[in-house]
Structure 1
Amino acid sequence: MIFINYKFRHLRNNFEEAAVDYSGLTYRTWRSVIGSQHWGSRCGSSMAEAAFSSIPPEDGKLLGVQSQPGTAAEKFTNAFLKSSLPQLKGEEIESMMLRQAVILQYTRPNRTRGKKTKAKGLNAKERRELKVFQLKPEHQKYELFLPLHELWKQYIIDLCNGLKPGSNPQTIQQKLLKADFHGAVLTVVRSKCPSYVGTTGILVQELKHVFKIITKEDRLKTIPKRNSVFSVEIGDFVTHIYGSKFELRSSERSAKKFKVRGTIDL
């Protein structure tokens, strides 16, 4: 870049007196670097003569360079281009120099990218060993889940557009089939196991086959869905859940299409 800046400074003053050694460059390469098309055809020949002439001795001492004959300069230039652009062949370098200026003596530093380690989650066995989904005894308090119940009631009211007296029961039932019941107050109204009938509490965990509810006596009870019928009160509305048809995870139930049946057995 020193040679180019020096050449332009002298060319602006006097094209015929400028004397920078560009004899090693071919005319096409020199034209792409200098950009003689910006100076016009008349001054282009003068620039070529000035560029291919030798550097005066006093200027060579000032710049710290030594003038070379045409053949030596050409060999040096070709070797310098090959070493600066090792990924390109000679024909590719020549073709590229015809179309654009190339910045030499600069290489982009190689950035070493480390392998990204993804966070590995726990498998089912590890979750069981750590008891991730088990409610601790000190947390088995009915009062602790009352705020959750209030949030659930507001969630259901918003989901069913206010639960107005004139609402269509079938539309509400379709929305409740895909709703989240964590926080709802469930009551077992029918079951093949008589000891489950009458059990009431807030739903704290829903699994594929069971409901886990906390009663007012601060007791955590696990009620199987199969062969049981549950009732849910939402304001003036009362809906029934047939557990045998509800044996799905809550995430799977939200995407399932339920078929309407006339009668459902336990």
Structure 2
Amino acid sequence: SVRFVHHLLKEKDSLKAKAFTEAFLRKSIKRPERFDLQNMLSHKALILGYNRPRKEKRKGTKAKGLNARQKRELKVFEIKPEHQRYELFLPLHELWRQYIIDLCSGLKPTSNPQAVQQKLLKADFHGAIITVVRSKCPSYVGTSGILVQEFKHVFKIITKEDKLKVIPKRSSVFAVEINGFVSHIYGSRFEHRASERSAKKFKVRGTIDL
């Protein structure tokens, strides 16, 4: 009868499902011979273990940067004589001016001088025109130019005469003018690299001796 045929088909599908499940368990379980698969199939729920595929470690060495000695030997920070020209750095100066104006929210005549000074202490001065106004070494006084390199203890500037000058920060006071606003910088407070100075907290002092 039709019912009998349906029963046979249903039983056949059940056997197929059972065979498939047993095969799947054998494949999924480590060392299936240690388990009673028939007993496991009698439970309603069965938790299977899952192992994430291991990621292959990339082989290769991390690129190492140059040390201080190698940089000196390769003259990484040396400005070639043909590039020691004042006019070449004027575009850098214009970029610096706009950077400072934006940093100081317009640098208006009504700006608070102390607030501006605090921002300048942490600013990047590459491109600024600086002038030595006081120094324990009289030969530095009056020297003016565009700051092209700043190191921990010295400023390197290009003068209008296309001369590269190295000015020690310590024992010198520098003047910086932006839109009529003149700020004096004590070099002893700038004896940090530009990247370190941006994160440093400066204490307010009444006077600073050269």
TM-score for both structures, normalised by structure 1: 0.65
2:6 equivalent in structure 1: 14
Alignment of 1:125 with 2:69, yes or no, is yes
Give distance in 2, aligned partners of 1:176 and 1:109. Answer: 54
User: Which residue is equivalent to 2:156?
Assistant: 212
Query: Hey, what's the Cα distance between the residues in 2 that align with 1:224 and 1:243?
Result: 8
Aligned with residue 30 of structure 1, among 7, 18, 34: 18
Are 2:154 and 1:180 aligned?
no
Structure 1: tracts of 5 or more residues without a match:
1-12, 34-76, 103-107
Q: Which amino acid aligns with 1:239?
A: S
Match of 1:152 in 2: 96
**Take 1:248 and 1:112, find their aligned partners in 2: how far apart are those partners?**
44
Query: Aligned pair 1:171/2:115, yes or no?
Result: yes
Paired position in structure 1 for 2:209: 265
- Matched to 1:30, the amino acid is K
CA deviations 1:192-242 (Å, max 9, x no partner) are 111111111000000000000011111111000011110000111101111
After TM superposition, give the deviation of residue 171 of structure 1 in Å. 0.7
Amino acid at match of 1:215: T
8 A contact 1:32–1:100 mirrored in 2: no
User: Which residue of structure 1 lines up, in the alignment, with residue 192 of structure 2?
Assistant: 248
One-letter amino acid of the structure 1 residue matched with residue 182 of structure 2: V
Does the residue aligned with 1:157 lie in a helix, a strand or coil? Answer: helix
Would the alpha carbon gap of residues 249 and 91 (structure 1) be closer, same or farther in structure 2, given more than 3 Å must change?
same
From 133, 150, 159, the equivalent of 1:189 is 133
SS in 2 for 1:223: strand
The one of 160, 165, 178 aligned to 1:221: 165
% identity of equivalent residues:
65
Q: Give, in whole Å, the separation in 2 of the partners of 1:236 and 1:153.
A: 12
Question: Helix, strand or coil for the counterpart of 2:175?
Answer: strand
Letter in 2 for 1:87: K
Matched, 1:87 2:75: no
CA distance 1:32–1:141, change in 2 (3 Å): same
Contact 2:135 2:172 in 1 (8 A): yes
Provide, for residues 74-107 of structure 1, a one-character-per-residue CA deviation record: whole Å limited to 9, x for no partner.
xxx68x954x3462554396648954699xxxxx
With the length of structure 2 as denominator, give the TM-score of the two structures: 0.81
Q: Distance in 2 between matches of 1:117 and 1:166?
A: 56
Map residues 129-148 of structure 1 onto 2, 5 A cutoff. 129-148=73-92
Task: Report the Cα distance in structure 1 between the residues aligned to 2:68 and 2:147, rounded to whole angstroms.
Answer: 23
Measured on the aligned residues, the alpha-carbon RMSD in Å equals: 3.3
Cα distance, 1:252–1:112 mapped onto 2, change above 3 Å: closer
Amino acid at match of 2:77: F
Cα displacement (A) at 1:264: 1.0
Structure 2 partner of 1:61:
none
Larger radius of gyration: 1
Q: Aligned with 2:62: secondary structure? A: coil
C-alpha contact 1:32 1:101 (8 A) present in aligned 2: no
Partners of 2:36 and 2:132 in 1: how far apart?
82
Tell me, yes or no, if the aligned pair for 1:227 and 1:243 is still in contact at 8 Å: yes
d(CA) in 1 for partners of 2:197, 2:206 = 20
What's the counterpart of residue 235 of structure 1? 179
